[in-house]
Structure 1
Amino acid sequence: MGREFIDMFDEWAETYDDTVTGQDPQYKEVFDKYNEILQAVADAADGYTLEFGVGTGNLSEKLLAKGLDVTGIEPSKEMREHASRKFPQLQLVDGDFLSFPVPGHEVSAIVSTWAFHHLTDEEKEQAISAYAKLLSKGGKIIFADTVFSGAEGRSKLIQEEQDKGHDRLVKDLTTEYYTTMQVLRNIFQTHGFHVTFKQMNRFVYLITAEKA
């Protein structure tokens, strides 16, 4: 998952939970309906689950509460330490979307929230190709992330945030690797997935891809 962003993740670890609960005005809309979105991802997961980009463990909590066997994968040492303190029962390893310990058995679900955009489009395809080999038939990839409807939608959303003076959010939207629904749809379909997109807030879509 974009190891070039590790320093940012480490720095964000202390304030991440404050940000996702709406205490940072610049990111309030990005994390609108945060708990509802996490629950939607957890509800769609079954069986042995890999979670990428665990962060401070908020999705992990919901997966564990469902009784799932979960392996959490997180590249940030600071984030891992926060998640481990909160949920010592969570199996947590150092890794990212492209480099992680491969489990010795089939995976039923691969989940992630607010993280897949840290990969370039080429890296996203590499990741989906690898996951297709890990997942059992009918297995699912369930991601919640910011996705643009297209080039026009990207420009419009960024301009609206510039007009609000949300400089940090605009920097994120223009320097991280946010993609479009069509690009993601093509990647998933190329690797044998049926994919759907459900808009959850102004920025975030629930992306559900099922292996044929």
Structure 2
Amino acid sequence: MNQSSRSQLFDNWAKNYDNSITSDKDGFPFAGYERILEQVVSLAEVKPNTRILDLGIGTGNLAERFVNKGCNVHGLDFSAEMLTQTKAKLPQVNLVQANLLDDWTKELQTPFDRVVSAYVFHEFNLETKIRLLQQISAHCLSTSGFILVADIAFPDVAIRTAASQHWQWDEDEYYWAADEAITACEQAGLQVAYQQISSCGGVFTFTSKGAG
């Protein structure tokens, strides 16, 4: 599916997105959704005025948690309708409509203390995931900043393969296997930590080697 079609899909989903998550909170792919988002906030260790960039902000479910902690939140999404939902919910958030695969960094020049993302990176294959993470690390982070990605993920390739056979998911989506992702990211110069939170979801923490 091309990016225009994906954008239209999410535009159509925007008004019902939160309800669909709530109705499927115990099943694939949203099992543990609330716990996973809370873990992102916990790992972020933010203070008031911490600068947050939320990539693929959607309807603002993760961003709202950071707003409630007094953070300065910016959000990016390719779906105009998702951004409309976020603007209504969180008018204080600075929003940019852009595609993650395009040159969006010029619109967000000031470094961020934390770059976060929830349920977005599975749209991209592993090579593209790593390229985006390298781009974020190089252009979007403050000196002590780091990246937190919550997503549909499994501990290793074997478990992901078994899950694929069980759930028969969309071949256009690229769910994480932590073992292969950690190996590939470390080879690309990123340090990685991973926590499995639910049967099909977890949180990655990415930092540049030598950061800290």
TM-score (norm 2): 0.84
Counterpart position of 1:76: 79
Decide which of 51, 67, 76 is 1:64's aligned counterpart.
67
Counterpart position of 1:37: 36
Give the deviation of 1:57 after TM superposition. 0.8
Decide which of 54, 57, 63 is 1:54's aligned counterpart.
57
Counterpart position of 2:177: 180
Counterpart position of 1:166: none
Give the deviation of 1:51 after TM superposition. 0.5
Q: Distance in 1 between matches of 2:96 and 2:184?
A: 27
Q: Counterpart of 1:36 in 2: which secondary structure?
A: helix
Counterpart position of 1:140: 146
Q: Distance in 2 between matches of 1:3 and 1:203?
A: 25
Give the deviation of 1:86 after TM superposition. 1.1
Give the deviation of 1:191 after TM superposition. 4.2
Q: 1:118-145 CA distances to partner (integer Å, 9 max, x unpaired)?
A: 1122211220111121223332110111
Q: 1:137-183 CA distances to partner (integer Å, 9 max, x unpaired)?
A: 3321101111233332222112222xxxxxxxx333x3312232233
Name the structure where strand makes up a greater proportion of residues. 2
Q: CA contact under 8 A between 1:30 and 1:202: conserved in structure 2?
A: no
Counterpart position of 2:198: 201
Q: Does 1:94 align with 2:97?
A: yes
Residue type of the partner of 1:34?
Y
Q: Does 1:109 align with 2:124?
A: no
Unaligned runs of 5+ in 1: 162-169
Q: Counterpart of 1:96 in 2: which secondary structure?
A: coil
Residue type of the partner of 2:160?
R
Q: Counterpart of 2:191 in 1: which secondary structure?
A: strand
Q: Counterpart of 1:67 in 2: which secondary structure?
A: coil
Q: 1:44-94 CA distances to partner (integer Å, 9 max, x unpaired)?
A: 333321101111111111011111111100100111111111111111111
Aligned CA-pair RMSD: 2.1
Q: Counterpart of 2:117 in 1: which secondary structure?
A: strand
Q: Kindly tell me: are residues 201 and 142 of structure 1, through their superposed partners in 2, closer, same or farther at Cα, counting changes over 3 Å?
A: same
Q: CA contact under 8 A between 1:52 and 1:96: conserved in structure 2?
A: no
Percentage of matched positions with identical amino acids:
29
Q: Write out aligned runs for 1:120-131 (5 A).
A: 120-131=125-136
Q: Kindly tell me: are residues 98 and 190 of structure 1, through their superposed partners in 2, closer, same or farther at Cα, counting changes over 3 Å?
A: farther
Q: Distance in 2 between matches of 1:75 and 1:38?
A: 21
Give the deviation of 1:108 after TM superposition. 1.5
Counterpart position of 2:187: 190
Counterpart position of 1:165: none
Give the deviation of 1:43 after TM superposition. 2.6
Q: Distance in 2 between matches of 1:139 and 1:181?
A: 22
Residue type of the partner of 2:35?
E
Residue type of the partner of 1:38?
L
Q: Does 1:118 align with 2:117?
A: no
Q: Distance in 1 between matches of 2:136 and 2:189?
A: 11
Q: CA contact under 8 A between 2:137 and 2:146: conserved in structure 1?
A: no
Which segment drifts farther, 27-36 or 115-124?
A: 27-36
Q: Does 1:8 align with 2:5?
A: no
Q: Counterpart of 1:171 in 2: which secondary structure?
A: coil
Unaligned runs of 5+ in 2: none
